Chains A and B, each alone.
Chain A
Amino acid sequence: MAEMTVSRLWLMRAAFVALCIFVMFLHLLPLDTVPRTWAGPDIIMALAFAWALRRPDYVPAITVALVMLLGDLLLQRPPGLLALLVLLGTENLKTRARALREAPFLTEWSAVALVMIAIALGNRLVLSILVVPQAAFSLGFLQMGMTILCYPFVVAFTQFVMGVRKIAPGDVDLVRRGA
């Protein structure tokens, strides 16, 4: 039984990384080379939060940091900044995971939305303090809104397709052995 949970733990950790790389792959497809007036959601961030709130042991800090750093490098963002902010966000959510476990989904959603808004504002603030040229405010704002809106879908995918569910009180033993 312990073997099962350990192998499942590593399998799910690998699944998270694979999922994120797949999302980056979709972003990189040379389909739209014309500037767009809208921005899609940041799926990787939403995935990290959804998994961190459900099973913190599936998304250790090092995984989140490396995946986000890779995203920063591949998707032409300032390297390190968004990774840092998302890492802080996931760790913050992990500490609140227990409190949010019994709460209804709406509470979880608003908590995640607050963290996402904080990340977007923090990103913008740091970039403007260091005078890094950045895109129009509306575009960043739109991306943040889209990420918040698509969070329920990411959660549904996480729960029903990937099978990452919140830990029921009886499952705690399994988690302990796995972690």
Chain B
Amino acid sequence: MAKDRSNGEDYTGPLRRLLMGVLLLCLLAIFLVWRIDSPRVERFRAQVTDALVPNLEWAMAPVTGFVNLIRDFQSYQRLSEQNRELRSELRQMQAWKEAALQLEQENARLLDLNNVRLDPRLTYITGVVLADSGSPFRQSVLLNVGARDGIMDGWATMDGIGLVGRISGVGKNTARVILLTDTTSRIPATVQPSGQVAMISGDNTAAPPVEFLENPDLVRPGDRVISSGDGGVFPAGLLIGQIAADPSGRLRVRLAADYERLEFLRVLRHHGAEPIADPSQIVKPVQVNEASDVSEAPDG
């Protein structure tokens, strides 16, 4: 019994208590530093992730593949039902394809007529999704491309169809993409065809709400939402999704990107919109030597 008591004293001994205090203070300091100087700690977090997660890739890839295989297998059970659905969808698609081909030709002709030059610098790097955020409270994925590949904070990320998110946190070999559904995501957008400007602000649901609409009456469910490029951080004209109204009447965006299966993502290289810095200059007639004296005299 005496030994038993001394065992307990180990845990409350002065040295142990001191160590405990130091440990608690360290953790508190880390949290407070994060709150005060978040970018620096987030960079540290990116480095830790960068050092650890790529090492797990060899194990992650097969496990993920295996689980997806099981999920696919479950969907085989309703194969005939799906087949019928697909057939009817295919019929609809063929009609659309015809329309799309005609529109594409028309579009090409119009672009040619107007001499439009598409932004040539919007090239992309494709990355593979390594890991997700691992928490139900945050929505982000980790890509296997990083500073080594020239990735920079703030660049847009798409899957084949629509916008997925933006880069936030770059390590040497990895980069984190904050998805549009994350609570910290805010993307300036334009609703077509009315041209209303709005903010797409994630709230941890599958369809983020549309906020700061000037005139909601002009926006209808089914309207296309594209990024507006306001603020110069994001390239303009990337497809985000379609407007949908939830049961309470609030406008939300049904995202175009397939969030169910994020496997390969494109990171768009974007070097910011070029600012127009110098004020416009007065257009003067071409100065000819003998005319210059005459034209400048009245100006004083």
Contacts and interface: CB of A to CB of B under 8 A. Distances in A.
Interface in B1-34: 3-4, 6-8, 10-12, 19-20, 23-24, 26-32, 34
Contact of B27 (A27, A70, A87, A143): A87
Contact of A143 (B6, B35, B136, B179): B136
A106 interface: no
Contact of A38 (B52, B135, B136, B141): B136
B106 to A, nearest CB: 37
Contact of B49 (A39, A74, A80, A132): A74
Given A84-B24, A91-B20, A175-B7, A39 B137 contact: yes
Interface in B135-151: 135-142
Given A29-B63, A79-B30, A179-B7, A74 B132 contact: no
Interface stretch (A5-13, A113-121, A134-142, A156-164): A134-142
A33 to B, nearest CB: 5
A88 interface: yes
A40 interface: yes
Contact of A39 (B26, B48, B133, B136): B136
A35 B136 CA distance: 7
Given A33-B132, A74-B134, A80 B259 contact: no
Contact of B204 (A25, A130, A139): A139
Interface residues of A, number: 53
B52 A74 contact: yes
B56 A79 contact: no
B52 A34 contact: no
Given A30-B262, A35-B205, A80-B34, A172 B132 contact: no
A78 B137 CA distance: 11
A35 B181 contact: yes
Contacts of B24: 84, 87-88
Nearest to A36: B136
Contacts of A62: 19, 23
30 contacts: A28-B142, A30-B141, A30-B262, A31-B67, A31-B68, A32-B132, A33-B141, A33-B259, A34-B206, A34-B259, A35-B204, A35-B206, A38-B136, A61-B23, A62-B23, A73-B49, A75-B134, A75-B135, A76-B133, A79-B34, A79-B45, A80-B31, A81-B27, A95-B12, A134-B137, A135-B204, A136-B204, A172-B4, A173-B3, A176-B6
User: Closest 6 interchain pairs by CB?
Assistant: A80-B31, A27-B134, A80-B30, A135-B137, A39-B136, A28-B131
